[in-house]
């Protein structure tokens, strides 16, 4: 498995999520104008407020994804690392970790890869470690077997 494949799969997953949220946001914007035309009184005000809250929530999610995409675009997925840092692909006890953004589990070529934020508890524990180092996390010891 190549780090560039993991990076590209993560970018594609984020772009897909961004498109889906943007479409929902556009649809919610249309719903707000429809509510305004068909409702009256207090019911109308409550409906409009609920739509506005939903739009704000979706807008924040879209903004977070845009920030994550910006971070990913700045990472060099072709660079190999001697020690674990942002952009590292790490194999540790038959589990793969991609130090990028906290996106959770991603499947790349039938291989599970955890996209891990370096500031997450496990990420902090692994940062700066080198090949062969042992990482202890939640009572479990793992040996770093590969770093890319």
Domain limit, last residue, from 41, 74, 107 = 74
Do 53 and 108 fall within a single domain? no
Q: Is residue 83 assigned to a domain?
A: no
- What gap in Å lies between CA 72 and CA 76, rounded to an integer? 8
Local confidence band at 146 (pLDDT 50, 70, 90 cut-offs): very high
- What gap in Å lies between CA 102 and CA 91, rounded to an integer? 17
How many folded domains does the chain comprise?
A: 2
Do 47 and 94 fall within a single domain? no
pLDDT digit string, tens, across residues 12-63: 999 999 999 999 888 877 755 544 444 455 666 766 777 778 888 888 999 9
Percent of the residues in the chain that have a pLDDT greater than 70, as a whole number: 87
- What gap in Å lies between CA 132 and CA 143, rounded to an integer? 6
- What gap in Å lies between CA 104 and CA 102, rounded to an integer? 6
Q: For the beta carbon of residue 81, count every other beta carbon within 10 angstroms.
A: 17
Q: Which domain holds residue 97?
A: 89-147
- Top pLDDT among 93 and 73 is at 73
Mean pLDDT, the chain, integer: 88
The mean per-residue pLDDT over the stretch 128-146 comes to: 95
pLDDT digit string, tens, across residues 108-124: 988 999 999 999 999 99
pLDDT at 2: 87
């Amino acid at each position: 498995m190549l780090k560039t494949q993991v990076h590209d799969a993560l970018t594609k997953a984020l772009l897909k999520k961004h498109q889906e949220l943007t479409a929902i946001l556009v649809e919610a914007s249309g719903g707000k104008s429809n509510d305004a035309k068909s409702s009256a009184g207090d019911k109308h005000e409550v409906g409009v407020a609920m739509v506005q809250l939903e739009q704000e929530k979706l807008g924040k999610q879209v903004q977070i994804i845009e920030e994550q995409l910006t971070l990913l675009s700045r990472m060099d997925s072709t660079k190999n690392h001697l020690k674990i840092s942002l952009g590292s692909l790490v194999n540790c006890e038959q589990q793969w970790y991609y130090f990028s953004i906290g996106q959770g589990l991603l499947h790349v070529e039938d291989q599970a890869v955890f996209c891990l934020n370096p500031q997450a508890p496990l990420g902090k524990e692994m940062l700066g470690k080198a090949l062969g180092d042992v990482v202890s996390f939640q009572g479990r010891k793992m040996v770093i077997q590969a770093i890319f």
